[in-house]
Amino acid sequence: MTDFREDGAAALEWAARYLERVPELPVLAQVRPGELTAKLPASAPEQPESFADVLRDMDELLLPALTNWQSPRFFSYFAVTSSEPAILAELLAAALNQVAIVWRASPASTELELRVADWVRQLLGLPTGWHGHIEDTASTSTLAALIAARHVTGRDVVVCSEHAHSSVEKDARMLGMELRKVPVDDELRMRVDGYDLDDVACVVATVGTTSFASVDPVRELAERAHAAGAWLHVDAAYAGSSWICEEERWSADGVELADSLVVNPHKWLLVPTDCSLVWTARPDEWREAFTLTPEHLRTSDEAFSLADSGRRSAAASGR
Ligand SMILES: Cc1ncc(COP(=O)(O)O)c(C=O)c1O
């Protein structure tokens, strides 16, 4: 029999100890491919184990096979920043297990999410009136933006920098949209001249490219996109969080002209993966692209439903 309180306290102690020790642990996993699999039973155990044994497995089996993204010496891929308050929030969210598909399914999740998205909008200095919600990742957020852009423009072409994140290409592939990659200038910024946008649904500008942190000229790209009737999506997944600091606001130049924009709190805003925030300046058209209310979700409530924001995953809607 598990004792939730006792085992929970032991889990919290394990987590606290892990966070204390992580600076000293090797950053890279200390295993070869398949080494952990060979130590795991081939089928699920028939008998329960004590929670102490589970935690021992965490130490002996899993820890050596972890790449320690939480290490202060981790400088690969991109930064993640799970913090102690956010870890406790995950615990409480899991206990409540809300699925906020429509307002009635979880008024608290819906209203808290919309309000907090607006707090972050204010902190980042984004325009009043933009509508924000949580997606699991920037990849999903950009996918949703491309869907909205295609809906609004009736076109099928996506344009981005050759240094845009691979998610833009993957999203275009998933949607069967054509992707055109534009070369960059000496500062690795997407060129604004020399290509035609007349048949383009969406221009994706990146603020903080993954490999170089270069910043595309958002203002010029927005002006050209809008003149051609295209949507302008800003991928600020990586660098957008820095706008909290006034001295970093230079890289936000022109983002107020965007039709949509994504920032990843799971990168620099102290929350664990997955948590991405996407805003749109055109909430009515965005919603129109996604609204689809099946019989089982119809209610008489006159309230905003997160399902209409295009969010795919019920798991993310539990936040
Ligand atoms: C600029 C940029 N866009 C998008 C992504 C993808 O983010 P996610 O893993 O949340 O899909 C990343 C991740 O590194 C990124 O740096």
Give yes or no for residue 137 CB within 6 A of ligand 1: yes
From 135, 160, 165, the mutation candidate for ligand 1 (largest count of ligand atoms within 8 A of CB) is 165
> 280 near 146, Cβ under 8 Å?
no
Give yes or no for residue 138 CB within 6 A of ligand 1: yes
**% of the chain at pLDDT higher than 70:** 95
Q: Which atom of ligand 1 is nearest to the CA of 266?
A: 10
Please say if the pLDDT value at position 314 is more than 60. no
- pLDDT the model gives residue 274: 93
- pLDDT the model gives residue 312: 54
Supply φ then ψ for residue 315, to 5 degrees: -65, -45
pTM for the whole structure: 0.92
Show the 3-state SS of the chain: CCCHHHHHHHHHHHHHHHHHHCCCCCCCCCCCCCHHHHHCCCCCCCCCCCHHHHHHHHHHHHHHHCCCCCCCCCCCCCCCCCCHHHHHHHHHHHHHCCCCCCHHHCHHHHHHHHHHHHHHHHHHCCCCCCEEEEECCHHHHHHHHHHHHHHHHCCCEEEEECCCCHHHHHHHHHHCCEEEEECECCCCCECCCCCCCCCEEEEEEEECCCCCCCECCHHHHHHHHHHCCCEEEEECCCCHHHHHCHHHHHHHCCHHHCCEEEECHHHHCCCCCCCEEEEECCHHHHHHHHCCCCHHHCCCCCCCCHHHHCCCCHHHHCC
Its sign, for the CA torsion 152, 131, 212, 271, is: negative
Closest CA to 277 of 78, 126, 108: 126
- Name the superfamily (CATH) of residues 4-76: dopa decarboxylase, N-terminal domain (1.20.1340.10)
- pLDDT the model gives residue 319: 42
From atom 7 of ligand 1, which residue's Cα is the shortest distance away? Answer: 138
Mean pLDDT of 148-170: 98
Give yes or no for residue 165 CB within 6 A of ligand 1: yes
From 264, 267, 274, 276, the mutation candidate for ligand 1 (largest count of ligand atoms within 8 A of CB) is 264
Distance, in Å, from the CA atom of 305 to the CA atom of 297, rounded to the nearest integer, reads 10
Q: Which two tokens stand for residue 212?
A: 């170089």
* Distance in Å, CA 205 to ligand 1 centroid: 13
Supply φ then ψ for residue 149, to 5 degrees: -65, -45
Give yes or no for residue 233 CB within 6 A of ligand 1: no
Domain coordinates of the chain in residue numbers? 4-76, 98-317
Using pLDDT thresholds of 50, 70 and 90, give the confidence band for residue 308: confident
CATH topology of domain 98-317: Aspartate Aminotransferase; domain 2 (3.40.640)
Distance, in Å, from the CA atom of 111 to the CA atom of 97, rounded to the nearest integer, reads 16
> 135 near 276, Cβ under 8 Å?
yes
Q: Which two tokens stand for residue 73?
A: 């010496």
Using pLDDT thresholds of 50, 70 and 90, give the confidence band for residue 316: very low
Give yes or no for residue 264 CB within 6 A of ligand 1: yes
Sheet architecture: strand order including 260-263 = 131-135, 276-280, 260-263, 231-235, 200-206, 157-161, 178-182
Q: Which atom of ligand 1 is nearest to the CA of 209?
A: 1
Supply φ then ψ for residue 235, to 5 degrees: -95, 95
Please say if the pLDDT value at position 313 is more than 50. no
Its sign, for the CA torsion 43, 47, 51, 53, is: negative
Distance, in Å, from the CA atom of 317 to the CA atom of 54, rounded to the nearest integer, reads 29
**What average pLDDT does the chain have?**
93
Mean pLDDT of 115-131: 97
**Predicted confidence (pLDDT) per residue in 39-93, tens digit:** 999 999 999 999 999 999 999 999 999 999 999 999 988 888 899 999 999 999 9
